[in-house]
Structure 1
Amino acid sequence: MTYLNQFDASLWQTCDEYYQQLQPLALQLQDEHHLNVNLLLLAIWLDNHHYPLSIESWQRLDVEIDTWEQKMLQPYRKLRRLSKANLAADEYQQMLDVELMLERKAQALILHKLKQLADDGSQSNLETYLSLFELSVDTQPQLLAMTHQAA
C-alpha cells in the first residue's frame, strides 16, 4: 500500500517537538555519523504512527534527500559556520533563518517522497534508519524512548 495523501506537513510540528528533546543527540549523530536529522525524526514519527518502511525505502529516501542536501543545504551550512566569527549577531541570525528555510524545503521534499512509498517494512523505522549508518537503537536509548510516546 502506498501512503498517497495520508501525510501532510503537520507531521513536522510533532517532529519539531521531538527535536527540542533530542537536539544535542540529533546534532551529534548528524555531525559524527552523517545522519539526516529530518529523516531521524521522521523515523520516530512513523514508528509512533505504526507505518513501517522497508530498508529499500529508507535507502531511497536517504539517497534522494542526501543528493538534494549536498547541493543546497550542506554548502550553505558550511558557509554559515565559517562566517560565524565574522558576523554580527543579527547577521548570523539571518543566516540561521535561511538555513531553517532550506530545512523546511528538505522536509517538503521528504514528504513528497514519503507519499510514494509503501508500508512494507518488518521492523521499526528507527532501527532500520539507524542500520544504514551501522548504528543500533540499543546504543541510543534516548531515541528509543521517543518511540514509546503516545501518537
Structure 2
Amino acid sequence: MTQEHAEISLTLERLWQFSLQYYSVREVKQACLDLQNQFHGNVNLLLLLKWLDEQQVSFLEEDWHKVEECLGRSEALLHSFRELRRKLKLQAPDTLYRESLQFELQLEKQQQSDLVDCINQLPLIKRSPSELTLPSDEYSTSSLTQRYCRQLGGEHLYHAFSAPAPS
C-alpha cells in the first residue's frame, strides 16, 4: 500500500448525502440490512468505509479500533431505539411510527457525525484503485468495505458494495 498522506474534505453533510444516495440503491439497501440484522454490523460505519473507498483513501490498520470505538457512544442508544421502533410498528398509530422513524434517522445522523469527527482526526493514506480491487486476504490490498464484511463474517455481501456509488 502506498504510504502517501491523503488530504480529504469529509463533512457530515457530505457523508450524509452520499449515504442517502448510496442507500437508495435497492441491492445496497438490502445488503446493508442483512449486514445489520444478520451479522450485527453497523450500517453507518459501512457507509463511511464505502465513502473512503470511493475517495481512494484508507486509515492505518492500527487505527481500526479507534474508528470502531467512536461508535460506542451512540450504538447502544440507536440499537435500543431501533428495537422500540420495531415494536411500535406493530402497535402504534402510523403517525407515531413515522415520527419514531424520523427520530431514528436523527440518531443515525449523529452517529455519522461521530464517525466524521473520528476520521478527521486520523492520518489517512492514499490508495491506488488497483489496491482496492485485488481479491486478497491481506488488509493492505482489500477495500475497507470488503474488510469490514469479512470481519463480520458476511463477506458474501461485499458484491453488493463492490460497484461504484451512483453519482
Q: CA deviation at 1:78?
A: 0.9
Q: Distance in 1 between matches of 2:10 and 2:109?
A: 15
Size of the alignment, in residue pairs? 146
Name which of structure 1's ranges 116-125 and 7-16 shifts more when overlaid on structure 2: 116-125
TM-score by length of 2: 0.77
1:86 lines up with 2:104 in the alignment: no
> Could you tell me whether the CA contact under 8 Å between 1:7 and 1:111 is conserved in 2?
yes
User: SS of the counterpart of 1:52?
Assistant: strand
Q: Can you give the 5+ residue segments of structure 1 that lack an aligned partner in the other structure?
A: none
Q: Can you give the 5+ residue segments of structure 2 that lack an aligned partner in the other structure?
A: 126-138
Q: 1:140 to 1:85 in 2, by over 3 A?
A: same
Computed over aligned residues only, the root mean square deviation of the Cα atoms, in angstroms, reads: 2.2
Name which of structure 1's ranges 30-39 and 46-55 shifts more when overlaid on structure 2: 46-55
Q: CA deviation at 1:100?
A: 0.5
1:73 lines up with 2:78 in the alignment: yes
Q: After the TM superposition, list the runs of 4 or more consecutive aligned residues in structure 1 that deviate by more than 6 angstroms.
A: none
> Could you tell me whether the CA contact under 8 Å between 1:55 and 1:129 is conserved in 2?
no
Q: Distance in 2 between matches of 1:89 and 1:57?
A: 43
Q: Distance in 1 between matches of 2:154 and 2:60?
A: 17
TM-score by length of 1: 0.84
> Could you tell me whether the CA contact under 8 Å between 1:76 and 1:99 is conserved in 2?
yes
Q: CA deviation at 1:87?
A: 0.6
Identical aligned residues as a percent: 27
Q: Distance in 1 between matches of 2:101 and 2:157?
A: 31
Q: Counterpart of 2:161 in structure 1: which amino acid? A: L
